Amino acid sequence: MLDRPLPLTPRKALAFVNGFRALMLLVLLFMSMLQGTEGQPLVDGGARFYLWSVVYGALILCWFVLRTGKIAHTLQLSLAIAADILMIVLLMGMNGGVKSGYGMLLLPYLAVAGLLSSGRYALFYASIATASLFAYVGYEHVSNQMLFGSTTDLFQTGLLSLAGFVTSVVTYQLAKVARESEELALRRGGEIANLNRLNELVLQSQRDAVIVLDETGTVRQFNAQAVRYFPGMQRGILLPELTSVVERWRINSHSPMPVFVERNVRGRQLAGRMVPILAGDLRGVVMFLRDMADMAEEAKRIKLAALGRLTANIAHEIRNPLAAISHAGDLLAESAEDPATQRLTRIVRDNAKRINGLVEEVLMLGRRDRVKTETIKLSQFLADFLEQFGMAQPEAAGRILPIFYSTASVYFDRGHLEQILSNLVANAWRHSSRVHGAVRIEISQMESQVLIRVFDDGPGMSEDAQAHLFEPFFTTESSGTGLGLYIARELAEANDARLDYIPPGGVFRLSCHHAYE
């Protein structure tokens, strides 16, 4: 946001007028101490002038005190300008009247009043000055027993009054234009600041490294991704890796066509395009660069996603024929009498069961986006889970030990959490010594994260196996599908959680968001 200057408030206007009055009084006092060519002070008046100065100084001090009072600011300004006009007219009278030229001092006061007030008030102050001048001329001639003043005095008074009106109107118009220009500048400045923030947001949201260079190759703008590729990036520097590209573009007479760019930067193979900027006298380029390794990884993810959808569709189509094969195997087993036939039917049923398990796991991947999160209290959830797990594997009933260092709740899809823990606990039980406490489930909390750790007393995974642990179809078991841990991690990520293997030993950690009840 641009720092806007504070507007000229009435309180500040009064302070400005008071400062102008004090400066004018000091100038007059200084001039009273100087002598002209005839040995007379530049400002005459003697003791009366110094009395006038004391009174005017007291008025200035009074106005300074009233500036912080409760009197309306417009009324204060009007009374102050009116008093200034009367004081200047008195000074003019002490120094020879209209012919002395001191009436010209009214013009700066009227100019200041025109700058600080609206149009009608500026004309009002000029009217006060005119009335005061003609009143003084009338008083002077009445006191000298003259029916009418001299033509010269009236003419000079009229000219001075006209100059006062012109000064008030001109200064008011100039102040009005200045105020409108200031308001427009502030408004446009705010719009430019908002546009700059929007451009910065768009720039930083780009996945590519975006670098704006002028025609000399100097960096003018960049985003956070560019800092990742070019450490120490800052505005106003030259990038040696890109300077040659900009130089060739400049030699080619600032070609307006985008150009493919490929550069090796600190071991990274960057590729992208260079888009010229040609607008008026502006000459520059915008570089859009990306690490080819990141692009390859993204392409791999896209291929895996497409393969996953294809696999899920195939698995869905396999279910019906597989169910028919399983049913046929069951019927054959019922009528089989000789051992050879029974062995063959058992092979059919076992393999059909294994394929069915694989199909179920593949179909589970298709449900990762169907998340129905809820607040789950882990103490009650684990009690129900261990009871169901013990019914599925009776030898594990009562031997898996839950440990609660925190009674926190988590925000998770209940079905997904059951699937993840079923996979982790089944693996832990399979690799443990199967005694009481060989498998433990620990619940703890770290700041806003709830940690669910599954321990077993087995030997753990080898370093080679750890590198591929969560890859699809990787397994160390001859009868495994290799999808269990892969699906568990996918379901965790679908719930904005994270599943990790913590060496050494067999420890899996599920990091979930804490749910505030």
Percent of the chain at pLDDT exceeding 70? 86
Per-residue pLDDT, 21: 79
User: Is residue 225 included in any domain, yes or no?
Assistant: yes
CA gap 403, 236 in Å, rounded: 58
Q: Average pLDDT in the 210-238 region?
A: 86
Both 265 and 329 in one domain: the answer is: no
CA gap 331, 509 in Å, rounded: 45
| b/e map 61-84, b = 16+ CB within 10 Å | eebeebbeeeeeeeebbbebbbbb
Domain boundary pick from 278, 294, 310: 294
Both 313 and 252 in one domain: the answer is: no
- Whole-angstrom CA distances from 441 to 61, 159, 385, 405, 461 are 82, 101, 11, 11, 18
- Judge whether 467 and 384 are in contact, CB under 8 Å: no
Q: Average pLDDT in the 187-200 region?
A: 80
Per-residue pLDDT, 150: 60
User: Is residue 222 included in any domain, yes or no?
Assistant: yes
The tokens 């009690």 sit on which residue?
A: 383
* HEC readout, 6-25: CCCCHHHHHHHHHHHHHHHH
Q: What is the pLDDT of residues 168-179, one digit of tens each?
A: 888 888 888 877
Per-residue pLDDT, 476: 67
Both 32 and 171 in one domain: the answer is: yes
Percent of the chain at pLDDT exceeding 90? 8
CA gap 224, 116 in Å, rounded: 49
DSSP character string of 198-258: HHHHHHHH-SSEEEEEETT-BEEEE-HHHHHHSTT--TT-B-HHHHHHHHHHHHTT---S-
Per-residue pLDDT, 401: 92
Sign of CA dihedral 70, 73, 74, 79: positive
Q: Which helix (H) or strand (E) holds 342?
A: helix 339-365
Both 419 and 505 in one domain: the answer is: yes
Domain boundary pick from 365, 382, 409: 365
Q: What is the pLDDT of residues 299-355, one digit of tens each?
A: 777 776 776 677 667 777 777 787 888 878 787 777 777 888 878 888 888 778 777
CA gap 211, 230 in Å, rounded: 10
Is the pTM higher than 0.75? no
Q: What is the dihedral of CA 165, 169, 171, 172, to 10 degrees?
A: 140
* CATH code of the domain in which 249 resides: 3.30.450.20
- Whole-angstrom CA distances from 426 to 361, 381, 468 are 15, 17, 19
Q: Average pLDDT in the 15-37 region?
A: 78
Per-residue pLDDT, 5: 44
Is a pLDDT exceeding 90 seen at residue 443? yes
The tokens 């009335």 sit on which residue?
A: 131
Both 24 and 108 in one domain: the answer is: yes
pLDDT band at 383 (very low <50, low <70, confident <90, very high): very high
pLDDT band at 7 (very low <50, low <70, confident <90, very high): very low
Domain boundary pick from 242, 271, 294: 294
User: Is residue 302 included in any domain, yes or no?
Assistant: yes
Per-residue pLDDT, 4: 44
User: Is residue 199 included in any domain, yes or no?
Assistant: no
Q: What is the pLDDT of residues 42-90, one digit of tens each?
A: 666 577 888 888 888 888 787 777 655 444 566 777 777 888 888 888 8
Both 431 and 319 in one domain: the answer is: no
pLDDT band at 148 (very low <50, low <70, confident <90, very high): very low
Both 163 and 23 in one domain: the answer is: yes
Both 161 and 61 in one domain: the answer is: yes
CA gap 10, 116 in Å, rounded: 8
Compute φ and ψ for 479, nearest 5 degrees: -100, 5
pLDDT band at 368 (very low <50, low <70, confident <90, very high): low
Per-residue pLDDT, 66: 67
Per-residue pLDDT, 3: 43
Q: Which helix (H) or strand (E) holds 440?
A: strand 439-446
User: Is residue 411 included in any domain, yes or no?
Assistant: yes
Which range, 376-380, 467-471, 504-508, is most confident?
Answer: 376-380
pLDDT band at 410 (very low <50, low <70, confident <90, very high): very high
The SS3 of residue 107 is: helix
Per-residue pLDDT, 189: 80
Q: What is the pLDDT of residues 414-427, one digit of tens each?
A: 888 998 999 899 98
End-to-end CA distance of the chain: 39
Q: What is the pLDDT of residues 281-290, one digit of tens each?
A: 778 888 888 8
- Judge whether 289 and 261 are in contact, CB under 8 Å: yes
Whether the upstream peptide bond of residue 504 has omega within 30° of 0, thus cis, is yes
Per-residue pLDDT, 2: 39
Which range, 177-186, 261-270, 407-416, is most confident?
Answer: 407-416
User: Is residue 381 included in any domain, yes or no?
Assistant: yes
- Whole-angstrom CA distances from 72 to 81, 118, 125, 456 are 14, 15, 17, 83
Domain count, the chain: 4
Instruction: Determine which of 6-15, 152-161, 320-329 has the lowest per-residue pLDDT on average.
Output: 6-15
Q: What is the mean pLDDT of the chain?
A: 80
HSE-CB for 68 with a 13 A CA cutoff: 3
Per-residue pLDDT, 455: 92
Q: What is the pLDDT of residues 83-134, one digit of tens each?
A: 888 888 888 877 777 777 777 888 888 887 777 776 677 888 888 888 888 8
The SS3 of residue 367 is: coil
Instruction: Determine which of 157-166, 192-201, 310-319, 336-345 has the lowest per-residue pLDDT on average.
Output: 310-319
* CATH code of the domain in which 405 resides: 3.30.565.10
Strands of 17-157, DSSP E: none
Is a pLDDT exceeding 60 seen at residue 395? yes
Look up the domain containing 225 and give its range: 206-294
Both 165 and 302 in one domain: the answer is: no
Both 301 and 286 in one domain: the answer is: no
User: Is residue 190 included in any domain, yes or no?
Assistant: no
- Judge whether 289 and 263 are in contact, CB under 8 Å: yes
Q: Average pLDDT in the 395-406 region?
A: 90
Per-residue pLDDT, 444: 93
Both 139 and 279 in one domain: the answer is: no
User: Is residue 455 included in any domain, yes or no?
Assistant: yes
pLDDT band at 381 (very low <50, low <70, confident <90, very high): very high
Which token pair is 40? 């007379």
Both 121 and 228 in one domain: the answer is: no
CA gap 220, 284 in Å, rounded: 9
- Judge whether 212 and 286 are in contact, CB under 8 Å: yes
Q: Average pLDDT in the 485-506 region?
A: 85
Q: Which of 440, 452, 456, 459 is nearest to 400 (CA)?
A: 440
